[in-house]
Structure 1
Amino acid sequence: MTQMKTRTTFQSINPARPTEVVGHVEDQSLEEIAEIVARAKRAQLRWSKLPSPERGMYLHRAADQLQLQLEDISITMTKEMGKTLAEAKGETARGVAILRYFAGEGMREIGQVIPSTDADAVMYTTRCPLGVIGAITPWNFPVAIPLWKIAPALAYGNTVILKPAEETSVTAQKVIACFQEAQFPEGVVNLATGQGSEIGKALVEHPHVSAITFTGSNLVGKQIGHSALERGAKYQLEMGGKNPVIVTKNADLDVAVEATISGGLKSTGQKCTATSRVIVEEDVYDDFKEKLLNAVEKITVGDGLKANTWMGPLATKAQFQNVLEAIDKGKKEGATLLTGGNRVSSLDGYFVEPTVFETVDHSMSLAQEEIFGPVLALFRVAGIKEAIELANDSIYGLSASIFTTNIQEMLTFTSDMQAGLIRVNAESAGVELQAPFGGMKNSSSHSREQGRAAIEFFTSVKTVFVKG
């Protein structure tokens, strides 16, 4: 009798209750990854030959399946990652909208006619798929980020291999199952699970993976960029942020406080676009601080599945420890802790109190290093010029926002702020699916995701010259 090969698995843990196992996920071997790549490569030619409106219909069917599974996937996301159920439902609904938006790409133009100097010729451009796309995604948005990579890749004729974060692989399995239920051809949408250092590395280095799209840390992103560049693969990196909000003396302070808290502390601060630096004009600094602290102290921290919870746990034990270490480092460097700064001792999970510092020098780690947790640092400035200079004093340039009713301040900010996403009288952490998204400086590889801009990464331009 032939002995069956034993498959190894790893556990997914609920960060609100670390003794609870959400599910088990296969830890795939490098041989299995090679088989997945081969399957995706075989499927890609057939998939790319389908008329693009037909590919769009497949995406519409996947959206239908995701809509049907919205409740279950959202609950799984909350259990696995920790964000509140309301946030998880909002993210999953956004995933449905992303699929429908890119389903519509099948009906849009993909080239243009260009005048030729030859009167007897026609010249035009079209776009070609790249081939097999490796999508390496993080745990903080386990539905939206994979789908804003997968959907355009498929719409433009590529096949995809999703490598999700280990921490949210159960959610990823359920998302990929929606494509299976939508009866996508075999090999078009694939899932690769396991350690990023092995599985992700194998995808990045595989000669038949034509492009890598990555969202995650700067350290890993730069390693991926180097590896892809060495073998001539196309790559797209969306990485960290240290996002500022500027509050001027002309701001509506109640609106600014609400948006600062939402942008900085929802999802427990675990967004690449989360507000972390709060730069306030001195004329309104004390009033703003009082309003902010009053609002922060009303935040309810707890299990994201409970209806009264506003902020859930940090997603992993490692992230929990990193945030506490960052808070402790801030104290040691001399910043003043105004509120929070501790683990929530009454809860068993990876819970940290919403935390606010002031008297932070801009050379401190609180001002320069991405924390990815519920930590805000307040800065007092004399005016808009100093505020923008401070806001730009970062290696990152992902998102930034300003609160003011002064038109000139708005125009100055939108002109001078060095960030890929600029928001006026709105929180820093808002990204709309139909608009280009990406950062400047060390926040990205300077490419853009989402909206019509997605076509620039997921296709190559072909110029065609036809002479009769």
Structure 2
Amino acid sequence: MSAGFFQVPVPHNEPVKEYRPGSEERARLKAALTEASSKTVDIPMYIGGEEVRTETRIPLVAPHNRKQVLAHFHEGDQTHVEQAITAALNAREQWAGLPWEQRAGIFLKAAELLAGPYRYKVNAATMLGQSKNAYQAEIDSACEMIDFLRFNVQYMTEIYSQQPRSSAGYWNREEYRPLEGFVFALTPFNFTAIAGNLPSAPAMMGNTVIWKPATQQIYSAQVLMEVFRKAGLPDGVINLIYVDGPLAGDIIFRHPDFAGIHFTGSTGVFQQIWKTIGENIHQYKSYPRIVGETGGKDFVLVHESADPKEVATALVRGAFEYQGQKCSAASRAYIPSSLWEQIREYILADLREIKTGTVEDFSNFVNAVIDERAFDKISKYISEAKNDPRVEVIAGGTFDKTDGFFIQPTVLLARDPQYVTMCEEIFGPVLTVYIYHPDHFEETVQLVDQTSPYALTGSLFARDRYVIEEVSQKLVNAAGNYYINDKPTGAVVGQQPFGGARASGTNDKAGSSLNLLRWVSARVIKETFVPPVDFRYPFMETE
């Protein structure tokens, strides 16, 4: 067998296309939207090398057009979870034994497929299925997913190259084995790239995976699976199933070969998973890896030295891009009274120009929230705020689900810094503002740190460098991704590895080698060239 120390292509961030009027990419994306909207797709599960269909077909509806059925997916049951486990375990030995450069080649090819022939198909699927505008889909399902694949290959090689030192007469080596068993990837609706990274990152390191996406993301998940298969991913390495979450978990978390979970979702679900794993710990062959990112109540803290226009733009983009359905979305803002009127006018001026509607109309900045359950939850917060004397609705506050699940960007002004929308994750286009006196800045910093159990993202706006340093130290544990004079969203793979602590997750930083390290188990090998043949040591010699 030939061999070599291989260097992978140097990764670079995929350039973001702008979709300006008259551009080729705009025309191609609109054509992809038309093509996708012209048919109803039949989506099977993928278990081993089989496309699995069942008698239970569930419709997938566009959130912004309740009459548009995009696809039907085949819902599985307990037997399909068991089949997926068997397929993953059967594929494990051969996949783990494949040279790393062959695994790398598969995922690098997948990146190129997404950058080229599949770019507009996956973006159109994300726009229609998850109600994202063209730009939000481009930075997610195209660019971020491509970046995850390219950079993770680089991080894989960096991990493999980390080797121990060897003294004279010895050779120490370190192997990075895949985990013993299978990995469960439980993925969210809001980012196609996160949904694709959660199964592909463990698979890249030699693991086999069972992937259960959120129902609302199945439409674009199927496109990613098509790309993986087109890139040459062997059967059984990633098994895509559509089974009720608790049912899947009940089987997976009791299986002795369960080796780890890669999760993005709610804090409550993650904590229940952790508890279940703990209760079943005696059944497993090894201690499972538990990796999760679970949400946030992300802050923007404004100092009186900040620029009002910069703050307003960051709040509008940070709070209302993708309808606030980002774990990192700006959800609570603390603004000094000396700047509030200027910032308020800038925000209101922007909101007067923002349009809400379908994704096919590229002039719409805001689209629909993901489904009726989300709509009802978010609109309840807004309705209760309208009737509460502790809070004032200063923008938006209207919603309608007649044709799609539309909620207007809403800004609340809370007189109580502990008001519910300052504390609880809403996951929608709702920003709550608290106004503080500039003399109470120190107390406000404490409020930011102590109000929420989460610690995912946060921003500080200030031009005073002493303030920037002081606040950065005081809020050291308040956010895993901390921004200075920027909105708290938009982490880029290879530039801002993403993840938070406290109630926001395990902070294993997707988009970095830290995450990939969780999916390997190291074995150290010491080889002695000339072994001793006498048990005696020199100190035992007589004088």
Q: TM-score, normalised by structure 2?
A: 0.81
Gaps of 5+ in 1: none
In the TM superposition, what are the counterparts of 1:372-451 in structure 2 within 5 Å?
372-383=427-438, 384-393=441-450, 394-417=452-475, 418-434=478-494, 435-451=496-512
Q: Quick one: which of 331, 338, 361 aligns to 2:394?
A: 338
Match of 2:522 in 1: 461
Q: Quick one: which of 66, 83, 86 aligns to 2:135?
A: 86
C-alpha deviation, 1:263, in angstroms: 0.8
Q: 1:46 to 1:360 in 2, by over 3 A?
A: farther
Q: 1:99 to 1:114 in 2, by over 3 A?
A: closer
Match of 2:405 in 1: 350
Match of 2:86 in 1: 38
Q: Quick one: which of 261, 268, 271 aligns to 2:326?
A: 271
Secondary structure of 1:64's counterpart equals: helix
Q: Quick one: which of 326, 338, 347 aligns to 1:283?
A: 338
Higher mean C-alpha displacement, 121-130 vs 401-410: 121-130
Distance in 2, Cα, partners of 1:269 & 1:204: 32
What is the letter of the counterpart of residue 29 of structure 1?
D
In the TM superposition, what are the counterparts of 1:290-369 in structure 2 within 5 Å?
290-333=345-388, 334-344=390-400, 348-369=403-424
Larger Rg belongs to: 2
Gaps of 5+ in 2: 1-51, 282-286, 530-543
Do the aligned partners of 2:296 and 2:327 also contact (CA within 8 Å) in 1? yes
Do the aligned partners of 1:176 and 1:190 also contact (CA within 8 Å) in 2? no
C-alpha deviation, 1:446, in angstroms: 4.0
C-alpha deviation, 1:202, in angstroms: 3.1
Question: Are residues 1:102 and 2:152 paired?
Answer: yes
C-alpha deviation, 1:155, in angstroms: 2.1
Do the aligned partners of 2:176 and 2:523 also contact (CA within 8 Å) in 1? yes
Considering only aligned residues, what root-mean-square deviation do their CA atoms show, in Å?
2.0
Do the aligned partners of 1:135 and 1:161 also contact (CA within 8 Å) in 2? yes
For 1:67-104, what per-residue CA distance to the aligned partner results, in whole angstroms no more than 9, with x for missing partners? 31121221121111111122112212221221122233
C-alpha deviation, 1:125, in angstroms: 3.2
Higher mean C-alpha displacement, 252-261 vs 212-221: 252-261
Structure 1 stretches of at least 4 aligned residues deviating more than 4 Å after TM superposition: none
For 1:365-396, what per-residue CA distance to the aligned partner results, in whole angstroms no more than 9, with x for missing partners? 11111000100111112344233212112111
Higher mean C-alpha displacement, 25-34 vs 262-271: 25-34
Question: Are residues 1:169 and 2:236 paired?
Answer: no
What is the letter of the counterpart of residue 84 of structure 2?
I
Secondary structure of 2:235's counterpart equals: coil
Higher mean C-alpha displacement, 373-382 vs 101-110: 101-110
Q: TM-score, normalised by structure 1?
A: 0.94
Distance in 2, Cα, partners of 1:202 & 1:23: 28
Match of 2:184 in 1: 134
C-alpha deviation, 1:466, in angstroms: 2.5
Distance in 1, Cα, partners of 2:184 & 2:462: 42
Distance in 2, Cα, partners of 1:146 & 1:438: 15
Do the aligned partners of 2:289 and 2:519 also contact (CA within 8 Å) in 1? no
What is the letter of the counterpart of residue 268 of structure 1?
Q
Do the aligned partners of 1:329 and 1:365 also contact (CA within 8 Å) in 2? no
Q: 1:287 to 1:11 in 2, by over 3 A?
A: same
Do the aligned partners of 1:140 and 1:270 also contact (CA within 8 Å) in 2? yes
Distance in 2, Cα, partners of 1:367 & 1:316: 23
Do the aligned partners of 1:112 and 1:124 also contact (CA within 8 Å) in 2? no
Distance in 2, Cα, partners of 1:32 & 1:163: 12
Equivalences, count? 462
Distance in 2, Cα, partners of 1:172 & 1:136: 12
C-alpha deviation, 1:107, in angstroms: 3.4
Higher mean C-alpha displacement, 169-178 vs 324-333: 324-333
For 1:89-140, what per-residue CA distance to the aligned partner results, in whole angstroms no more than 9, with x for missing partners? 2212221221122233453342544457x75433343322114211101111
Do the aligned partners of 1:193 and 1:199 also contact (CA within 8 Å) in 2? no
For 1:125-161, what per-residue CA distance to the aligned partner results, in whole angstroms no more than 9, with x for missing partners? 33221142111011111x2102222332122111222
C-alpha deviation, 1:221, in angstroms: 0.8
Match of 1:151 in 2: 200
For 1:16-61, what per-residue CA distance to the aligned partner results, in whole angstroms no more than 9, with x for missing partners? 1112111011101211111111111121211111221221101011
Higher mean C-alpha displacement, 183-192 vs 204-213: 204-213
